[in-house]
Amino acid sequence: MNKVLGVLSLACVLLLAGCKAADKRADIEKEVEEVLAQMTLDEKIAVLHAQSKFSARGVPRLGIPELWCDDGPHGVRPDTFWDKWASAGQTNDSCTAYPSLTCLAASWNRDLAYRYGRSVGEEARYRKKNVLLGPGVNICRTPLNGRNFEYMGEDPYLAGELAARYVQGVQSNKVAACVKHFALNNQECHRMDGNVNVDDRTLYEIYLPAFKKAVQQGGAWSIMAAYNQYDGAFACHNARLIKDILKGEWGFDGAAISDWGGVHDTEGAARGGLDIEFGTAGAYNDYYLAEPYKARIVSGELSEDELNDKVRRALRLNFRTRADGYSGSFLSPEHTADSRRIGGEGIVLLRNNGVLPLAGNARKIVVLGENAIRPMVVGGSSSSLKTQHEISPLQGIRDAFPEAEVVYCRTYYSGMPTPGSYNYSQYDITETRPAGELLTEALAAVEDADYVIFVGGLNKNETQDCEGEDRLSYELPFGQNAIIERLAAVRPDLVFVNISGSPVALPFAEKVGAVVQAWYLGSETGNALADVLSGAVNPSGKLPFSFPVSLEEGPLKTERQYPGSADEKGVWQVYYEEGIYVGYRWYDLHGGVQFPFGYGLSYTTFEYGQAKASAKVMKDRLTVSIPLTNTGDRAGAEVVQLYIADEEASVDRPVKELKGFEKVWLEPGETKTVSFTIGRDALSFFDASRHEWVAEPGVFKALVGASSADIRSEVEFRLK
């Protein structure tokens, strides 16, 4: 009886919460209409465009405050001057820097995604920001994309699941998440003008699902339109993307915001569905949605009904993000702990011949590589942050092994200054010695070391994971490959730590003792890395994208596909001719992958049992379950991945597609049963001719495994 009462009580609580949320929405809608009815034309126009670099006007006469935005998604960007991009030089805007979103994606942890969003949202609320510009969910189509580190990998299901929870976490603080960049912003090369040519099936199956989940499951209050063109129209005034799909098919009731400087004409922005314009060059009153828009309203060229819809959305965004007495929190110990945990849980162990974890009684540890001391939170352009501290990998290792002699050698020099206005490195990162001398010093130092750790990779400079520029090569820069080959010849137990936000070529992987993919880990970089190297944290990250052996093995084979080329009219055209075969969908058919999507090792081992389906014939839903056992001697977590294969499709379909995942924590010897419930949506493909999702009756397989290339068990079922 008590159990029944408990269930009824929980149901009542959930019902009451739902009723309160509905009442709140109704109150906001009522207020929106009341305010709209009192606004003058000038006041309506004023709320639709910027008044400074990061703010839009309110309606002072009616008590409506300004709307303030700030760059995310990895932390709250330092304030700029009103009319300049330069830092305002304030002393109270040093934030917590969180790991890059690729790191979050590598955690494969929905709860952690919510915690990430809630934590960064608390900092944004404290700084009195209404809109946090993130998360980014554009698909990793090429490893060379300069902003891959800001996104969530190559798979739309994974990116969508985590983005939805991140959005919910941010907005729990009355701060709007602004999901970006909508849509098809998959390269930085010609991002401002390139026109993407993509078929509808690929658009709906690969490049839109993460946005859709952020809107429909996450409840996003704002969306940022991209710079690029799609189907001959810029994304910031692309009626098909914004009006037909976002607001029409998905029922989005929030505000569509331009990327900064992404608007190109008044009529396009007005009729294409854009609601708020930021970043256009020139005086604020001359913005396309400012005085030029007003003039067309007055002349009758453009509809006032359309204007009122934009104003409603701007007001709705404003009212949803009122503080209501909540002040948030900033630079708290909890935020530091969140940053460290996200980093530790997202680090991926790619190779380990037994050298990791490092023994606690190490006598001498040699740390090599420029990235061991180079600050990273300051780079990447819009992701550049100002923090009170950034623990370097070198410092983290020294703190984790206080009894050991930790020797550092620069080993290589990037030859470029640290980007950004803030440099918090406690080390002198300049270098005058020749490359040969740096390598000679390192070779001498490693001879008698217990452990050798090389911290290299990319560095968020231009062309090295940075907004505005794609990478120039898939190879590691600054001669690192040759250096590591030399070092591995004398120390084959060398641990290579790769810091990057994108896949990179690792031709030496089989010649070293361990390879660790560490990402950009934020304020707690060194501590999070040391946690994994020392074994204080058992690695549980899995790759959110494939690491091909080389670019030549990947799906982008021609200049038309990437980076594109100018047509006869001078318009830069990019053709997504690989279609739906992005990432593992391509490599499943053609091979050529070094480390597959979903891959990652642990310091313990896991045994998968036999997968079972709740029925042999599926009508509407079906549950797939599998036992998982920790067969090692350490507690750890495994990401169990569910892929679906369509065995009898009438159209060309991938070998398999990710349709479920669960991260499971197990003590040594412990067994848990992992269950996935799937519906018809998991079996469907997009039929462009009918413009609908189709699940064809026939035979399917549920494939359960530890990565896209490591399927441990499968079960067949039929859709009736």
Give the pLDDT band (50/70/90) at residue 16: low
Do the domain assignments include residue 490? yes
Collapsing DSSP to helix, strand or coil, 447 comes out as coil
CA distances from 55 to 35, 71, 79, 501, 510 (A): 20, 12, 11, 30, 51
Please state, as a whole number, how many other Cβ atoms lie within 10 Å of the Cβ of residue 187.
24
pLDDT tens-digit series, residues 106-136: 999 999 999 999 999 999 999 999 999 999 9
Of 278, 194, 221, 280, nearest to 563 by C-alpha is 194
Pick the last residue of a domain from 320, 355, 371. Answer: 320
Task: Flag whether pLDDT at 8 surpasses 80.
Answer: no
The shares of helix, strand and coil residues in the chain, as percent rounded to the nearest 5, are: 35, 20, 45
Pick the last residue of a domain from 545, 560, 575. Answer: 545
CATH, residue 300: 3.20.20.300
Give the containing element (helix H, strand E) for 705.
strand 698-707
Do the domain assignments include residue 706? yes
Task: Flag whether pLDDT at 2 surpasses 80.
Answer: no
Task: Say yes or no: 505 and 470 in one domain.
Answer: yes
Task: Say yes or no: 506 and 647 in one domain.
Answer: no
Do the domain assignments include residue 569? no
Do the domain assignments include residue 23? no
Task: Flag whether pLDDT at 420 surpasses 60.
Answer: no
Pick the last residue of a domain from 500, 517, 545. Answer: 545
Do the domain assignments include residue 89? no
Collapsing DSSP to helix, strand or coil, 181 comes out as strand
Instruction: Tell me how far apart the alpha carbons of residues 185 and 559 are, in angstroms, rounded to a whole number.
Output: 17
pLDDT tens-digit series, residues 278-324: 999 999 999 999 999 999 999 999 999 999 999 999 999 999 999 88
Residues with Cβ within 8 Å of 91's Cβ and at least 6 positions away in sequence, in order, are: none
| 95 strand-pairing partners | 387
Task: Say yes or no: 185 and 206 in one domain.
Answer: yes
Task: Say yes or no: 375 and 344 in one domain.
Answer: yes
Task: Report how many domains make up the chain.
Answer: 3
Task: Say yes or no: 134 and 189 in one domain.
Answer: yes
pLDDT tens-digit series, residues 648-693: 999 999 999 999 999 999 999 999 999 999 999 999 999 999 999 9
The verdict on whether 428 is a catalytic residue reads no
Instruction: Tell me how far apart the alpha carbons of residues 609 and 619 are, in angstroms, rounded to a whole number.
Output: 26
Instruction: Tell me how far apart the alpha carbons of residues 93 and 434 are, in angstroms, rounded to a whole number.
Output: 39
Task: Flag whether pLDDT at 138 surpasses 90.
Answer: yes
Task: Say yes or no: 280 and 347 in one domain.
Answer: no
Task: Say yes or no: 379 and 232 in one domain.
Answer: no
Do the domain assignments include residue 581? no
CATH, residue 457: 3.40.50.1700
Take residue 46 and report the two structure tokens written for it.
């004023």
- The alpha carbon of 633 is separated from its chain's Cα centroid by a whole number of angstroms, namely 33
Do the domain assignments include residue 541? yes
Of 369, 253, 269, nearest to 312 by C-alpha is 253
Angle between helices 2-38 and 304-320 (to 10 degrees): 130
pLDDT tens-digit series, residues 263-276: 999 999 999 999 99
Of 351, 369, 525, 334, nearest to 441 by C-alpha is 369
Collapsing DSSP to helix, strand or coil, 201 comes out as helix
pLDDT confidence of residue 423: 47
Task: Flag whether pLDDT at 421 surpasses 50.
Answer: no
Task: Say yes or no: 613 and 641 in one domain.
Answer: yes
Task: Say yes or no: 270 and 351 in one domain.
Answer: no
Task: Say yes or no: 295 and 442 in one domain.
Answer: no
Do the domain assignments include residue 226? yes
Take residue 317 and report the two structure tokens written for it.
């965004």
Structural domain including 654 reads: 604-719
- The alpha carbon of 495 is separated from its chain's Cα centroid by a whole number of angstroms, namely 27
- Express as a percent the part of the chain with pLDDT over 70: 96
CA quadruple 656, 661, 665, 670: dihedral sign? negative
pLDDT confidence of residue 324: 86
Task: Say yes or no: 61 and 178 in one domain.
Answer: yes
Please state, as a whole number, how many other Cβ atoms lie within 10 Å of the Cβ of residue 163.
34
Q: Indicate which residue of 70, 259, 275, 531 is catalytic.
A: 259
Task: Say yes or no: 276 and 402 in one domain.
Answer: no
CATH, residue 650: 2.60.40.10
